[in-house]
Chains A and B, each alone.
Chain A
Amino acid sequence: MKVLVPIKRVIDANVKVRVKADNTGVETANVKMAMNPFCEIAVEEAVRLKEAGTASEVIVVSAGAAQAQETLRTGLAMGADRGILIQCDSDPEPLAVAKLLKAVVEKEGPELVILGKQAVDNDNNQTGQMLAALLGWPQGTFISKVEKTDGSFAITREVDGGLEKLEIKAPAVVTTDLRLNEPRYASLPNIMKAKKKPIDTMTPADLGVDVSPRLTVVSVTEPPARKAGVKVASVAELVDKLRNEAKVI
């Protein structure tokens, strides 16, 4: 079974994100970038499936700037077999990514696609679901466990108030939640081997996909700074403020 793992390059989760001066987006120049943590979990799961003999090949794919190649190398160092870079001029939107991935799935024929449930930059939480819909495949989102059974996957999903166990038919799309696994550190020998693993580069045009944006960003701003609190003298004053200033009661 081939496993495809789409991964995204995002601003490192430990970096304090700054809004660009012209409010068109966030500052990414000279900011430390890393693989989206949910995608790391996806790669880890795929590599574990391969180590267990369940998967035969793990392919990592990323759509984005040329530097996404570094992120693919990280995936290869964790144990993926080869990479695909779909080089885009600007950050593609979730629907465009889903279409690109659909084209890759049709070329590669994986039985399982594992994505992160969301990327920590935009928190969209859409790509996996859109891809499953476009392919007409079953989807299992926010999973904390996945096992291959005969012709299907037994999955456990994290839902409000508990765990949901489902069986979905192969081929399928799943998206990872935090507790699926703890991603490994790449070992030095594997970092060195990763350099020699192949990465195919292509463009959206090669895949026949139009990635022009459909959304318009109006403006990006910092959240308002928290104002200092005030001490109230009495309950009556508090009630008054809640009613007349905050207008919450």
Chain B
Amino acid sequence: MVSYTAPLDDIRFLLYDLLDYEGQVAGLPGCEEASRELVDAVLEEGAKFCENELLPLNRSGDEEGCAFENGVVRTPKGFKELYEAFCEAGWNGLSLNPDYGGQGLPKTLQFVMTELICSSNISFGMYPGLTHGACNALELHGSDDQKQTFLPNMIHGRWSGTMCLTEPHCGTDLGLIRTKAEPVGEGKYKITGTKIFISAGEHDMSENIVHLVLAKLPDAPEGSKGISLFIVPKFLVKEDGSPGARNGVACGSIEHKMGIKASSTCVMNFDEAEGYLVGEPHSGMAKMFTMMNVARLDVGIQGLGLAETAYQSAAAYAKERLQGRSLAGPQQPDRPADPIIVHPDVRKNLLTMRALNEGARALALWVAIAVDVAEKHPDDARRQEADDLVALMTPIIKSFFTDAGFEVTNIGMQVFGGHGYIREHGMEQLVRDARIAQIYEGANGIQALDLVGRKLGQNMGRLLRRFFHPVQDYIEEGMTKPELAEFVAPLAKSLSRLQQATLWIGQQGLKDPEEAGAAATDYLNLFAYTALAYLWCRMAEASLANLEGDRAEFHEAKLATARFFFQRLLPKSSGHFSAIMAGKAPLMEMKEAAF
């Protein structure tokens, strides 16, 4: 069994001591209720639910997986009851619109809960996660009538949602999709085509499944400009709002896959299924992107969630597993060997995990607060600013967190030695579950292209300034504080390299887009390390100020982790910098036939 307790201490430190949750979020219109007291109560209950209900079904769900028989998908034992309890307790609608039955709590809280859910049972979390994304898209783009028909049931969870983009011949390049939509009058369309890899496409937990489907109208322009978005419910909705006749959409089979085995991944066949257009014709890509942007952040958090469980389990194991003697002489002479936590290499592993996790969590919550500000702040300029930061950081969170999620879960397995590789301890499941997050919601290479190709140049570099300016200001101020020197100096170096690389990519990319493409992934990683350095610096500062307080142990550990980050992890960013500056030649030189 993995060990997991929701890291509420760290979360409270970030929200209240570091990021000024109360000043930034609790004061926003619509968030008045979400006081610190309420947030604490919600998080405590949420943690209890995840630890006691989600976690116990994680390994059994993995062992059993989903079953497909006669077009019906059966989720593993206990999932249906768990889902019902989850919805009844209101977790499904945590941050969704109260006009349609949601709880309307801040998105920041949703980020935290998503982490806890992914740490406990990521396969289960897929189902409400997909519904959440679909609700966001409908809320923003659906007609009043569509919202009334679908949102209350979806926000409750009684009906679940999906996003149907991928087809057998296209995943990344959605311009190639072939699913057709034919108008049949009265705002109705007949949808025909095959979608694959559809998460939660079919299952036995909800009364109805509402598919959001990308398809092409007969008069559609070529490519991604010709895609429209449709609602296709599994059961057509009757006049009284309840599910009625079966629609022409059915699950053809489910995939057998590496991880997230309790999450169904379905082939969905649409055969003249009744669908309803969302918004204007041919505007589907843009609409899907609003859903995908939220989903991309969520997927980033999946990486963090799994990585946290891996760290906690590995740390507990390292304190108990007796193997070898400390190089500094026996630490526990009365026992046959010392616990492996005495070994420098094991400590390096544990601290790598911890520094990446805590840095990622800080970055995630910094951006989460910006999501709330972007949505609710009364001042246009503040909203814009926050929105820019979220847009800039989204590909970084998606890609870096999920790469780190895989790396950290893998290190976790290493700490367990052979006992990590066998199934019994649950460590290999974490690795398998983490792997998909690097692929779906836009493969990580595509995230890097989004950062370099779209976000860098957007509005003459305005998005970039939302990061560079506050960090520069912070560094300037930090330079005047001698106690921060050990943290600020490497941050400043990292930022200046990032700026240099940005300039280089800007210049080279204009001349030759392949140069930008060749630099993209290393650039994203360099950016991520710099962002983590910024947050680690701020965390170190907050902890230095609290060393005398009654939580000294917490802050001492924070500082030790900060020092590890700056001295042993951040140097990795130099490698990324050198790789960027080497340019595309080493990648493009070799002839295709030689591969």
Contact: B41 with A74, CB < 8 Å?
Answer: yes
Contact: A191 with B45, CB < 8 Å?
Answer: yes
A48 to B: closest C-beta gap in Å: 16
Determine which of A30, A194, A228 lies in contact with B551 in the assembled complex, contact meaning CB atoms within 8 Å: A30
B20-42 interface bits toward A, Cβ cutoff 8 Å, 1 = contact, 0 = none = 00000000000001010110111
A interface residue count range (under 10 / 10 to 19 / 20 to 34 / 35 or more): 10 to 19
Q: Is the C-beta of A197 less than 8 angstroms from some C-beta in chain B?
A: no
Q: Is the C-beta of B94 less than 8 angstroms from some C-beta in chain A?
A: yes
Q: Is the C-beta of B146 less than 8 angstroms from some C-beta in chain A?
A: no
Determine which of A30, A188, A228 lies in contact with B103 in the assembled complex, contact meaning CB atoms within 8 Å: A188
Q: Which residues of A contact B557 (CB under 8 A)?
A: none
Contact: B41 with A187, CB < 8 Å?
Answer: no
Nearest CB to that of B90 among chain A residues?
A188
Q: Is the C-beta of B257 less than 8 angstroms from some C-beta in chain A?
A: no
Nearest CB to that of B104 among chain A residues?
A192
Nearest CB to that of A29 among chain B residues?
B550
A193 to B: closest C-beta gap in Å: 10
A88 to B85, alpha carbons, bound, how many Å? 38
Determine which of B37, B49, B88 lies in contact with A195 in the assembled complex, contact meaning CB atoms within 8 Å: B37
Q: Which residues of A contact B382 (CB under 8 A)?
A: none
Q: Is the C-beta of B547 less than 8 angstroms from some C-beta in chain A?
A: no
Nearest CB to that of A76 among chain B residues?
B41
Contact: B90 with A77, CB < 8 Å?
Answer: no
Contact: B37 with A77, CB < 8 Å?
Answer: no
Q: Is the C-beta of B582 less than 8 angstroms from some C-beta in chain A?
A: no
A124 to B40, alpha carbons, bound, how many Å? 30
Q: Say yes or no: A191-B41 contact (C-beta < 8 A), given A185-B48, A185-B85, A185-B89.
A: yes
B544-567 interface bits toward A, Cβ cutoff 8 Å, 1 = contact, 0 = none = 000000110010000000000000
Q: Say yes or no: A195-B33 contact (C-beta < 8 A), given A185-B48, A185-B49.
A: yes
B65-106 interface bits toward A, Cβ cutoff 8 Å, 1 = contact, 0 = none = 000000000000000000001001111011000000001010
A77 to B43, alpha carbons, bound, how many Å? 13
Contact: A73 with B103, CB < 8 Å?
Answer: no
Q: Is the C-beta of B5 less than 8 angstroms from some C-beta in chain A?
A: yes
Determine which of B35, B40, B89 lies in contact with A188 in the assembled complex, contact meaning CB atoms within 8 Å: B89
B392 to A: closest C-beta gap in Å: 32
Q: Is the C-beta of A70 less than 8 angstroms from some C-beta in chain B?
A: yes
Q: Which residues of A contact B94 (CB under 8 A)?
A: 188
Determine which of A189, A195, A228 lies in contact with B90 in the assembled complex, contact meaning CB atoms within 8 Å: A189
B37 to A: closest C-beta gap in Å: 7
Contact: B89 with A77, CB < 8 Å?
Answer: no
Q: Is the C-beta of A14 less than 8 angstroms from some C-beta in chain B?
A: yes
A192 to B95, alpha carbons, bound, how many Å? 13
Q: Which residues of A contact B (CB under 8 A)?
A: 14, 29-30, 70, 73-74, 77, 185-189, 191-192, 194-195, 228
Shortest beta-carbon contacts, A-B, top 6: A188-B90, A187-B89, A187-B90, A188-B103, A186-B45, A191-B41
Q: Which residues of B contact A (CB under 8 A)?
A: 5, 33, 35, 37-38, 40-42, 45, 48-49, 53, 85, 88-91, 93-94, 103, 105, 334, 550-551, 554
A-B contact pairs, 27 of them (CB 8 A): A29-B550, A30-B551, A30-B554, A73-B37, A73-B41, A74-B41, A185-B53, A185-B85, A185-B89, A186-B45, A186-B89, A187-B89, A187-B90, A188-B90, A188-B91, A188-B93, A188-B94, A189-B90, A189-B103, A192-B33, A192-B38, A192-B103, A194-B41, A195-B35, A195-B38, A195-B41, A228-B334
